[in-house]
Amino acid sequence: MRVGVIGLGIMGAPMAMHLHRAGLLAAVYNRTKSKAEPFEKLGVYVASSPADLAQRVDVVIIMVSDAPDVEQALFGSRGVVEGAKPGLVVVDMSTNSPEWARRFAERLAQYGVKFLDAPVTGGQKGAIEGTLTIMVGGDEELFQKLLPVFKAFGKTVVHVGPVGYGQAMKLVNQIVIALNTIAMVEGLRLAKALGLDIDKVAQVLFSGAAKSGSIELYLPKLLKGDLSPGFKAAHLKKDLAYAMEIANKLNISLPGAALALELYKKMVERGLGELGIHALSEIY
């Protein structure tokens, strides 16, 4: 399979690099062309547009910020559909919502293009190390066909149901990440107020029942004062907004997620959205 990647940011670039090492990467595209230069030096074709990329590959992976960006890459001027041939597969690995995923699938089907929604979790560290967890919604036979692609940069790859279920699973995941991060930040705040040895606090949190992916990924960065993003606060705020929109439609109460959304909204309002999600400590 010839794979093309649209979006070479914090996550997309290392994922594309793993595909290159696996001999699967045929083309890349990024709106800021400088981000494609490392791939051009490796002999990977740098497309002039999503349409140009689509003409050259069998599978298009999209890893951009939000649903409108996906929509633009697919259906905008010189979008994927302008270069698509019947049988092309589009895999949206961005995070948005089940509703957007189903909408993309329906519109792409009109062009004979197949679709999977396959968001990931594991942050920048997981992308660099090739250990991402991937949640895939869509046709199971197509999922099985694309397993070699997913396994190039993923350690755990799970088919979770039909189109839209990948995004649904990711939103569940994001709520848990957000609440784990709040717990970590507030625990550290109390520990510092009590005068506890923070290194010993970390030792306990890394080994006891409180340990979590958030603690493993972000506590070391917090202790060093490193607030750079492995996953941007603005993106988590966006994901939580999608989750709460669905919760409201279903008329279910998610008070923890509602609190998390308000806290991450405050981060963005204070100009901290480009920092990592663990920089939530700054608004305290």
Asked about 192 being catalytic, the answer comes back as no
Dihedral sign, Cα of residue 145, residue 148, residue 153, residue 155: positive
170, 232, 237, 238: which one is catalytic? 170
Among the listed residues 101, 111, 175, 171, the one whose alpha carbon sits nearest the alpha carbon of residue 138:
101
Exposure string over 5-16, b if 16+ CB within 10 A, otherwise e: bbbbbbbbbbbb
Q: Which residues of 246-271 are buried (b: 16+ CB within 10 A; e: fewer)?
A: bbeeeeeebeebeebbebbbebbeee
Residue 132, helix vs strand vs coil: strand
Contacts 24+ apart (CB under 8 A), 140-145: 142/89, 142/114, 142/116, 143/116
* Alpha helices per DSSP H over 5-76: 12-21, 37-41, 50-56, 67-75
**Distance in angstroms (rounded) separating the CA atoms of residues 27 and 263:** 39
Kindly list the catalytic residues: 170
